[in-house]
Chains A and B, each alone.
Chain A
């Protein structure tokens, strides 16, 4: 197992390098460079002086070197988690990320847990009662949820449940109320959860619909299998057949889906965080783009890529744990 993990992590390195090359290439291929941006359109300086200043500044930022040297320098800094300073906040990007990343991760983890907690029982239930009214109704509803644009859902939820016009049930923005810091633990937790209800709903309903469909399809396949008929013929009760025989074999695709759910959610949190004004990574990226804070944008893209890879690795490990027939050697 240790050998596999090491090999797997080593294989991640070229992929991660590829991601950084791509992000770096995007930033260099873009028109304009930081120096001319910070110098503005100019006008007051004469041309010779402007060119001199430009030269000095280019040397200062290391932009006068060839592209591959620039990339290596950038990589060296990035490997030390030094993403440079934010232009807007005048602070190291890594500090901002340290503040914001936990919020996004917690938000996504809560959503992921909610998705799995709801969709697995729902998928099993609809598969067992295939073709009945509940199954058909839920599949229509889930299909609509799957295609529902999350920004619209978020806006409608805020509009109808957070405003004075209709119902004023939930807070429209932020993570906690103004007075939250002075509260004891449990009221504080309640306040936090109260703020998280709508964002978590928005972040998870599409994935919920998708996962439920997959669970249902997997269960249907397994419920039709011969070994389930055998189990029933042995006289086992329905619960045992469904959970110990059919469900156990449907677990594997559910785990692999996790690897695809996580990146979709992290991407989706850009939209959700800016609708609900939650100060997470998505919001950070959104603000960085609107203010052209390049260092933050590149840091966020790199970190998100890394998180993605970690998610894939995690899914592979879970895969092996879930199914004893699969060994680490046989995945490759």
Chain B
């Protein structure tokens, strides 16, 4: 037993091989770090672009308007980010320091501890913070001399504000990327729009891969009639033009961000289902699955604990491409006006303001959101290609 725990004898695992292959190309690493940067921006958006100051002195008292204006939405984003960071870093730490038999339980407990610490911290900070201020325009308060020492964030504008003084201005010193048709700062809206785009990508693909994995697993495991019926369903889903189906559903149901995520998820699961089905066909007859069946394990354990980890690789690649696709579809929907409602910033919706109602072409309203969509989609696509090559070069043809 002692020999097993000696790290030298662990050898190179499959994921380490994939990582070696993946990191051998610097383009992949650039893409990865770009996405990490985007995620950081998305998580800390209120701290980068906000019209509320971090600190302000009013009548000799110190206030923290930004901290007290954070919403439940912001906190849930923070919690999700903490969970994600915990999973990535603690898993690597655990791989080095915890022996393999204890890892899953340890990780679960570590995440719970981190989240509890975070919740305790924010509740104590929120209760210790001084009373909330009911001001909306801190800049005019500062100018009028009622307050002193206001410290603003890097981009001191809010995304939902209407400033009639600065309608459709090209980039300047005050507004680095210009202002849009209601006078909001473009850079600020871009930063807050990162959240929408990234979360649409993740949630939509999460939904589609859950459906796809579930349907594909059942089709591949049982085969026969179930497989035949399932494949007809997949065929139907594939022959409906996805974009038409999506805008049909958008036409009939109330428009909200979650509905859009759900719709994109529901209409794009066929690829995942087909990959999982093909993998499960191969795995079904292998010894470890047969022994799991003969041990009388429950179906969900056979399907998802024993078979799925061995057949997930092509789906991971498909997921990366799917995120790019979902971000693209969301921005196309928002561009056409079927996306989230206007004060909520979305890249596609910003893009649609690029041609003003009088037919004028406002280049800064077109280039910057467009570049944001383009870079994000390109990064995900490059990442997908890199993953595909790293996971299995034979897949090159399949996708």
Contacts and interface: CB of A to CB of B under 8 A. Distances in A.
Interface of A: 14-15, 18-19, 22-23, 26-27, 29-31, 143-144, 146-152, 155-156, 158-160, 163, 165-166, 217, 253, 263, 266-268, 270-271, 274, 285-286, 288-290, 292, 294, 297-298, 300-301, 304-305, 308-309, 312
B232 A143 contact: no
B382 A143 contact: yes
A52 to B, nearest CB: 27
A217 B396 contact: yes
Contacts of A253: 397
Interface residues of B, number: 47
Nearest to A156: B366
Given A158-B355, A159-B355, A267-B244, A149 B232 contact: no
Nearest to B397: A217
B361 A304 contact: no
A166 B367 CA distance: 15
B378 A144 contact: yes
Contacts of B360: 163, 165
B298 interface: no
B366 A159 contact: yes
A163 B243 contact: no
15 contacts: A26-B245, A30-B253, A144-B378, A147-B378, A151-B336, A151-B348, A152-B366, A152-B370, A159-B366, A263-B241, A266-B241, A270-B244, A270-B336, A301-B240, A305-B240
A149 B332 contact: yes
A14 B239 CA distance: 12
Given A156-B366, A288-B251, A22 B240 contact: yes
B17 interface: no
Contacts of A300: 244, 248
Interface of B: 232-233, 235-236, 239-245, 247-254, 324, 328, 331-332, 335-338, 348, 351-352, 354-355, 360-361, 363, 366-367, 369-370, 373-374, 377-378, 381-382, 396-397
A163 B240 CA distance: 37
B244 A301 contact: yes
B236 A19 contact: yes
B336 A152 contact: no
A147 B324 contact: yes
Given A149-B370, A270-B247, A308-B239, 9 more contacts: A22-B245, A148-B374, A151-B332, A270-B243, A289-B250, A292-B251, A298-B248, A305-B239, A305-B244
Contacts of B331: 149, 151
Given A146-B381, A151-B351, A270-B243, A297 B251 contact: yes
A244 to B, nearest CB: 23
Contact of A301 (B248, B254, B337, B397): B248
B254 A15 contact: no
Nearest to B373: A149
Contacts, number: 139
B333 to A, nearest CB: 10
Nearest to A253: B397
A272 B373 CA distance: 17
Nearest to B242: A267
Nearest to B324: A147
Return the 6 tightest CB-CB contacts between A and B, nearest first: A267-B243, A30-B252, A152-B370, A159-B361, A18-B236, A289-B251
A18 B253 contact: no
B268 to A, nearest CB: 12
B240 A308 contact: yes
A149 B244 contact: no
B355 A147 contact: no
B244 A22 contact: no
Contacts of A19: 236, 239-240
B363 to A, nearest CB: 6
A110 B246 CA distance: 25
A143 B378 contact: yes
Given A18-B232, A159-B363, A149 B252 contact: no
Nearest to B366: A155
A2 B183 CA distance: 65
B336 A149 contact: no
Contacts of B351: 151-152, 155
B361 A158 contact: yes
Contacts of A160: 361
A151 B336 CA distance: 9
Contacts of B335: 151, 271
Contacts of A27: 252
Contacts of A152: 351, 366, 369-370, 373-374
Given A15-B232, A290-B337, A308-B241, A149 B247 contact: no
B392 to A, nearest CB: 15
A285 B248 CA distance: 8
A288 to B, nearest CB: 7
B366 A18 contact: no
Nearest to B327: A149
A210 B390 CA distance: 21
Contact of B253 (A23, A31, A267, A312): A31
A155 B377 CA distance: 18
Contact of B328 (A149, A158, A166): A149
A159 B240 contact: no
A26 B338 CA distance: 17
A274 B355 CA distance: 13
Nearest to B371: A152
Contacts of B243: 267-268, 270
A26 to B, nearest CB: 6
A199 to B, nearest CB: 16
